[in-house]
A and B are shown apart, each in its own frame.
Chain A
């Protein structure tokens, strides 16, 4: 089964990069955000969150705690229950 941390990481990397790119090159703003490039700043925050989530997944896979690896045991548990 898919490890949920992978799509979370990928989504935030993608959307964060998209916003940061748009903010850096197009400088959008509203009257209340005139002093800050919100797209750029928040895009980077999201991008780094995505990186952090990716690092967590990578670390736990290395330490053998990946969600997928629990599945064979769970399958047996479920099969035993249904028997």
Chain B
């Protein structure tokens, strides 16, 4: 399909808007605090939607459609048990420490709670991971533009990188957050008609189920054994690997999302940020996974007179990554195609900008200010933040080419999380809820957990350990990394000297006064919001059992 002038017009209007927003916001950026944490003055509903959208990059949108096509409704677990409980946990229990400690980043919290070396280890591994994630987003978008607009990969990467650079360098985190909120609405409006038309085309839900492989319409029914579901995972691996370690590891410790809550205007808004994000998150499988289900249905049982949608690869699998762009091409006329592409472009840019703003903050505060140039003026660090934005984007371009070697980009992302986030969550759990945890315990636990993940990865690659699917290997890798980190953290902490209670006030659960919410209206109380979202997820799991 060739794009028409109207498609380019919609793309151009959106691009002009984001650059315009960057220009307007530039006037509000006077200090490094304005640039890196938006001066802590954003309302809760805005940080909430940004919290959701920062994670909803092109990687997520295209990767989840790919997962839907590859694994069926099982992919919804990445949202339901793989996100919502952790989002409720971070809002209700962890945000008081993050926001209350006035830390500007996750590594900075680690410095306050533990010591300098734990901060350095986390800052370096986070900077590395965030650049890789940003590169994956870039690759995903370039692929779509190549397919639907006929642009070369290099041109797509370069143009999109320049736009992201333009608005993040101008408005910093605020620009990034504003674009994420725009993206949320664009995704909703861009993909809702696609799902409606696709479902109608295959004969509704019943027609869809009839065209998909057996078991593709169930979230739990096939999880009794690894051999009875397409993901090759049994319920324990799913619940512990994805539902506990990977999910909590990502949503509770990844600075990319936590940074959005740190920009909130007050403690209540910060705590409600992940909870406001959780409700749309619970419903998003209907927008981003459903296209994958439709794609596999149209591939295995094409409609009369049409060719299978997804191309078969030499290894017998399908080119799942193209599920979403191919559906856009099939169902959207000119104009709507421009809207679909704009939604993808927005998700790509906000995914990338989210990573880049998190990277420039960690680089500037936790590496540059902490170890390279201490005690300089605020203007100096603001300038460094802008340079780091350029550096982050250049590194992301390099990472984009790495991502091309994986046939399912979501598997690749989970692999990264199992290396870095899974052990980090072990340390956070110990550090926030057990005051005896020491800096040495945290540092060595984190290091040993990450090394355990690398060791597991090497053994899997050598064929010593075998799993039915890459995803199953990732889940178990996360469980091992977390367990090694947790046990090592406890043992080393017991053998080393803890900090005094006085030093840990406001940083550890037992030494922090409880926050009372009973004066806020019920719809602003984190406990009530959290319970409501959990109830919605339970109902969804039962409906799609």
Residues of A within 8 A of B (CB): 1-2, 4, 7-8, 10-12, 14-15, 18-19, 22-23, 26, 28-30, 32-33, 38-39, 42-43, 45-46, 49, 67, 70-71, 74-75, 78, 81-82
Contact = CB atoms under 8 A, between A and B. Distances in A.
Question: Which 9 pairs show the lowest CB-CB distances between chains A and B?
Answer: A28-B333, A39-B335, A74-B41, A28-B334, A22-B335, A1-B28, A22-B6, A2-B24, A19-B335
Contacts of A15: 10, 13-14, 339, 342
B330 interface: yes
Interface in B13-60: 13-14, 17, 20-21, 24-25, 28, 33, 39-41, 43, 46
Nearest to A53: B185
B13 A14 contact: yes
- Interface of chain B, main secondary structure: helix
Contacts of B24: 2
Chain A CB within 10 A, most for which of B9, B39, B178, B335? B335
Contacts of A49: 185, 189
A12 B41 CA distance: 25
A18 B6 contact: yes
26 contacts: A2-B28, A4-B46, A8-B181, A12-B185, A14-B13, A15-B13, A15-B14, A15-B342, A18-B9, A19-B336, A23-B335, A28-B6, A30-B331, A38-B197, A38-B336, A39-B333, A42-B339, A46-B189, A49-B185, A49-B189, A70-B41, A74-B40, A74-B265, A75-B39, A78-B39, A82-B33
B193 interface: yes
A67 B38 CA distance: 14
B335 A11 contact: no
B373 interface: no
Contacts of B201: 32
Nearest to B188: A49
B6 A78 contact: no
Contacts of B342: 15
A8 B265 contact: no
Contacts of A39: 333-336
B196 to A, nearest CB: 10
A29 B333 contact: yes
